[in-house]
Amino acid sequence: MLKKIKKITDLHRELTEARKSKKKISLVPTMGNLHEGHLSLIKHAQNISEYVVVSIFVNPTQFVAGEDYNKYPRTLDADTESISKLDVNLVFTPDTNEIYSDNYQTPIEVPVSYLESIHCGKSRPGHFRGVVTVVSELFNIVQPDIAIFGEKDYQQLLIIRNLVKNLFLPIEIISLPTVREESGLAMSSRNNYLSQSDRQRAPMLYECIKTTIKSIKNGVKDYVDLEKEAKLFLEKAGFKIDYYSICDLDTLRSPINENLVILAAVWLGKTRLIDNARVHTYD
């Protein structure tokens, strides 16, 4: 039976019981508006742990001024309904005051300044500070053995891995591949913002990433040129480019070997889409 909990004290009471019976606890942090991507993380959590916590919290500190915090889709009833069909033990849905009291003064900065300063960190200054703050809090509140994140937010994933490594947090971070619609479009709550015509066009982003990967696999080594080509293709198709970058899989710096990931963020109208793919896992 799914327990729905809003208060940290209640959550602690529940988890103390789970810990007493030595259950392995996993946490799937989300901002709600759950789609198949989230559900794949939750299902995996069920397979690898005995107690699954899903958190749903639209975290205000990771939205930069002028972004979509107010209009971000909040679908708590539908979310709890879909979670209750799965074998989740607890859904944690704190109010903003529960996580950030009025005089909240402890934002977390992790020592990964390069990673935070590029790509989404550059376009959305302060975004990752908000992410690591809330993720640190959720880790402290739940104290999970395992936390599971999607690879769609690849830069976020690396930053969270660094957070755990640098602060010696005893949490295993597991990541799972991006779940895509049949068209190839990466599932995202922000896809809801797309107009009908932009929705038809959006899958071209992944098509473009796959084309870049094919070129690399065919031996093209001039990555700057490939990036330029991809940007031109996307611009012609009506996308506005934030970044399109072929980079090192582990550091996101300029590639030094064949261990590559392609990261992209684009605008279609007022909707910002991100996507990525590793070169070596694409067939």
**x/- site string to ligand PAF, residues 191 to 210, per CB under 6 A?**
--------------------
How far apart are the C-alpha atoms of 12 and 89, rounded to whole Å?
A: 14
Three-state DSSP class for residue 148: strand
Of 29 and 94, nearer to ligand PAF (C-beta) is: 29
Tell me the residue ranges of DSSP E strands in the chain.
3-5, 25-30, 51-56, 90-92, 146-150, 172-176, 240-248, 260-268, 271-278
Chain residues 123-152 in contact with ligand PAF, contact rule CB under 6 A: 131, 134-135
Buried b / exposed e over 236-271, threshold 16 CB at 10 Å, is eeebeebbbbbbebeebeebeeeebbbbbbbebeeb
Of 115 and 131, nearer to ligand PAF (C-beta) is: 131
Angle, CA 201 vertex, CA 199 and CA 207 arms, to 5°: 120
Q: Is 30 in the site for ligand PAF (CB under 6 A)?
A: yes
Task: Check: CB of residue 42 under 8 Å from CB of residue 147.
Answer: no
- The stretch near ligand PAF (CB under 6 A) out of 15-23, 28-36, 220-228, 235-243 is 28-36
Backbone angles phi, psi at 118, to 5 degrees: -105, 175
How far apart are the C-alpha atoms of 136 and 128, rounded to whole Å?
A: 12
Q: Is 227 in the site for ligand PAF (CB under 6 A)?
A: no
Q: Is 178 in the site for ligand PAF (CB under 6 A)?
A: no
Of 191 and 259, nearer to ligand PAF (C-beta) is: 191
Catalytic site includes residue 35? no
Q: Binding residues for ligand PAF, how many (CB under 6 A)?
A: 10
- The stretch near ligand PAF (CB under 6 A) out of 24-32, 95-103, 254-262, 269-277 is 24-32
Q: Is 153 in the site for ligand PAF (CB under 6 A)?
A: yes
Catalytic positions, written as ranges? 38
Q: Which residues bind ligand PAF (CB under 6 A)?
A: 29-31, 59, 62, 131, 134-135, 153, 156
